[in-house]
Amino acid sequence: MASIVLKSLSVLLGIFFIFVGTTKLTPKISKELHKDLRKEFARYSKVFPLAQTLEFKIPSKWYRRTVGGLEVLCGFCLTFIPSKRIKQMANLILVVMMLFATYNHWMVGDKFERLAPSLVFFFMLTCRMIVEYQIRRKEKEEKLSLKKPAAASSAKEAGVDGAAGSVTSAAATPPPPTVAAESRAKKED
């Protein structure tokens, strides 16, 4: 069940970020939305976190293109790449980008309606990370539980007593009572 949830989240989030990133890169999907995003990124480039510290200005055009390109790339990885490690890295990059988006909206004084989508997708991406972590932890526990009985059965075959931790030999163990009684009966005959 959890695997279905993880795959669904990956595909849906991936498609969403491919769409959103494409709208930042090209006006072919929606001219009005692309125009609005160009204006917004002009404001966001002024409050870029390291711009004041390092005393440089980021061109809004390249900031928008970088964010859009990363969103398309990470969305593609979440949707189409089967590697769990690559999906986790794409997820982590998108989480950091959503934190930056939240910071940008906050610093330019946007209303909560403009800030809310970045928070929602931050939490969705975080949930995806948590679900993947839980699945990975469960798989490790199952592998360990499968190895433990196999190790115990091979130890019993080798003559190791699992409870006492001692090695038993055939000579040291007394024969069952029925076998002992039969052998005494044969000696008496």
Q: What is the pLDDT of residues 54-112, one digit of tens each?
A: 778 888 899 999 999 999 999 999 999 999 999 999 999 999 999 999 999 999 999 99
| The model's pTM | 0.73
Supply 175's token pair.
């024969």
Which residue, 20, 56, 55, 13, is CA-closest to 40?
20
Q: Is the pLDDT of residue 156 over 80?
A: no
Report yes or no: 21 and 68 within 8 Å, Cβ to Cβ.
yes
Q: Is the pLDDT of residue 159 over 80?
A: no
Which residue, 104, 96, 74, is CA-closest to 87?
74
What is the per-residue pLDDT for 3?
Answer: 82
Residue 141 β-bridge partners: none
